[in-house]
Structure 1
Amino acid sequence: MATPALKAIRQQFPDAEIVTIQRPYVADALDGLDLVDRTISLQNGQKLISRLGLLQQLRRERFDLSILFPNSFRSAWLSFLAGIPRRVGINRDGRRWLLTDALPAGDKQTPHPAIDEYLRIATFLVEEDQANARVSLPLSRTMELAVTDADRQRWKSFLDKQSTDFKSRPLVCLNPGGAFGGAKHWPVAHFGELAERIANELGRSVLVVCGPAEKNEALQIVEQANHPLVTSLAAEPLHLGLTKAAIQQAELLVTTDSGPRHFAAPFQVPVVTLFGPTHILWSETFYDRSLHLQLDLDCGPCQQRVCPLGHHRCMKDLRSDQVFRAVLSLLDQQQNKKAA
């Protein structure tokens, strides 16, 4: 969701070296794009000596400008300690005094799409120097991703192990799980029922993509579906590039509200997104080939990582037949577009 803002920043500062500070498990998402020049890894749970080493590295870099997409206190604190003279971000999480350029924050109770928040920061940087503006306003929301040659080889290696029948059919990807917490998970039994129907009734191949935390879930979905056209990436060396390559080749993606959901739009793949505890608008990307499914419950969306009432109805009561109808709807739309 940050790629539209990154593209605008690249265009506005064509001669600058642009460096991202990212957690290693998401750094591969930008591989193949020219939006950044290099990445500095921000490890989770670093020991004090490692944190000091990172801080010393950042100070040696002598950066001119820090653009803070996360709204966290930590990101602003790190930029401040690194001695970066300009620190631009949104005034949230009590960090106003750490920012040199603090953009006003909206009401916390009102959802603000992340893609628009990132674009707001990029727009500020363009507008403050209108005389040298290289980007047209308003900025585009179009997201970007790329698949590298190494990613294509990973995908080929996976396909080489599959049956001729699997490879000859259109592909539907399923993406379970979510780092946010258990409340975002759609039940394995529902995913299994959906996978079996897509394979059996629609004659599609079905691939369950996964990260390390979703391996067991992916295997259980395949077991539940019990169909030769349903398999997963769980046995492969997992890599974001492989997931990107798989979704790029898909006819459709069905996903929870998790990171790989956003791989669909850049590759123009239709996507059905299953929302439970999270408000749709926080991660809205305004993609025209998407359908959002969310039950209208009195208790939600609660934005909690674990269901505070213990019933998890927002996901359990979202049945596989409802999702199957959404799949049919998007596939019909695609067929009608091709026919037109």
Structure 2
Amino acid sequence: MRPMNNAPLDTDRPNSLIIAPQWIGDAVMTEPLLRRLHARGERLTVGALPWVAPVYRAMPQVAEVIEFPFAHGGLQFRERRAIAKRVEGRFETAYVLPNSLKSALLPFLASIPRRVGYFGEARVGLLTHRLKNPKSKPPMVAFYSALSGESGFDADRPQLKFSDQDISAALARQGLPVSGYYVFAPGAEFGPAKRWPAKHFAELAASLDLPVLLLGSGKEAELCDEIVLLSNTANNAKCLSLAGKTSLTEALCLIAASRACISNDSGLMHVAAALGVRQVAIFGSSSPLHTPPLSDQASVLWLKNDASYQSPLDCAPCFERICPLGHTRCLNDISAQRVRDLL
């Protein structure tokens, strides 16, 4: 666990603790909420899992980030109680962004007087201010921003910011030119029904006149290596996989300095949008009506809403990990040329 910054209570501003979601894309979607809270005078500390914490360090309105030593699954009551004791008395309000019971435990154990979150997982007694979950889930920015108690979220778009120094350092560590490359993010942890085929990524990479960096986690290294192998045969080794070889902070900085980012519906898609990078977002089993890249620099490809595509995709969006019909037409039928035309 990274040492906690036991900063003294700020008596000039109300101190608030944000319990962050565990996915990168969701973390990005919380930025408008944090911007609203900061603008009305709250000093923000974010409690986040280590693989999400770098996203919050790219939000200027966040004063402090506490990395939680929690793993996926399990209550881990002892660890939560230990951190609760360390932060007790520091905060007036806690905003609990995930809907799970365990995410609401720490603010309760820390005796934070005002604890805000949505109903969920029998945690009525853990929260003091509870919002009803909407019957039809709104876009994620609006879902999180409603915890502020304010309204008018339609124009809110996530924003992330890295310093020129951070970006230059990341480029130097990888020996890369400034804005002289494209970034591909070919992974999607949810499942293959959200992943544009590797052969299509490879064909696109081979057709470009600049190097291509493949970014992702170590779990996606095999996928990225396949794309490198397929593309470099025709592209003079201009495609390089850094999957699992960078920190998340470095990966975000590399996206920030890229010419454009091509991705599936994934956390890095939302990062590129929040950084204002030119991007093409490819959707298959999921829907851009719910989780679009919120940026004027984004182009979305989704065959479901393409009137010229025949026969129509009545099965989309299915939100399944693997295509139930076995054809994954929603992704296989998006050509590399069609993506390149949007760059």
TM-score (ref. length: structure 1): 0.78
> Which residue identity does 2:272 align to in structure 1?
A
**1:95 Cα deviation from its structure 2 partner:** 4.2
Which residue number corresponds to residue 21 of structure 2?
none
**1:264 Cα deviation from its structure 2 partner:** 2.0
Alpha-carbon separation, structure 1, partners of 2:154 and 2:341:
35
Residues 174 and 208 in structure 1, CA contact (< 8 A), matched pair in contact too: yes
- SS of 2:145's equivalent in the other structure is helix
**1:46 Cα deviation from its structure 2 partner:** 7.0
Alpha-carbon separation, structure 2, partners of 1:23 and 1:168:
30
Which residue number corresponds to residue 118 of structure 2?
90
1:40 has 2:89 as partner:
no
Residues 69 and 118 in structure 1, CA contact (< 8 A), matched pair in contact too: yes
**1:309 Cα deviation from its structure 2 partner:** 3.4
Alpha-carbon separation, structure 2, partners of 1:98 and 1:206:
48
Which residue number corresponds to residue 140 of structure 2?
114
RMSD (Å), alpha carbons: 2.7
Which residue number corresponds to residue 228 of structure 2?
222
1:22 has 2:48 as partner:
yes
For this pair of structures, how many residues does the alignment match?
A: 301
> Which residue identity does 2:216 align to in structure 1?
C
Alpha-carbon separation, structure 1, partners of 2:115 and 2:326:
42
Structure 1 248/78 Cα, relative in aligned 2: closer, same or farther at 3 Å?
A: same
Residues 207 and 231 in structure 1, CA contact (< 8 A), matched pair in contact too: yes
1:3 has 2:31 as partner:
yes
Residues 66 and 86 in structure 1, CA contact (< 8 A), matched pair in contact too: yes
Which residue number corresponds to residue 100 of structure 2?
72
- SS of 1:66's equivalent in the other structure is strand
Structure 1 104/245 Cα, relative in aligned 2: closer, same or farther at 3 Å?
A: same
Gaps of 5+ in 2: 1-28, 305-312
Q: Which is helix-richer, 1 or 2?
A: 1
**1:97 Cα deviation from its structure 2 partner:** 4.9
Which residue number corresponds to residue 144 of structure 1?
159
- SS of 2:52's equivalent in the other structure is helix
Sequence identity, in percent? 28
Alpha-carbon separation, structure 1, partners of 2:121 and 2:175:
46
> Which residue identity does 1:64 align to in structure 2?
E
Residues 141 and 153 in structure 2, CA contact (< 8 A), matched pair in contact too: no
1:103 has 2:118 as partner:
no
Alpha-carbon separation, structure 2, partners of 1:78 and 1:307:
39
- SS of 1:280's equivalent in the other structure is coil
**1:184 Cα deviation from its structure 2 partner:** 1.5
Which residue number corresponds to residue 337 of structure 1?
none
1:125-166 CA distance string (max 9 Å, x none): x68xxxxxxxxx668513222325455312212125xxxxxx
**1:35 Cα deviation from its structure 2 partner:** 2.4
TM-score (ref. length: structure 2): 0.77
Residues 53 and 67 in structure 2, CA contact (< 8 A), matched pair in contact too: no
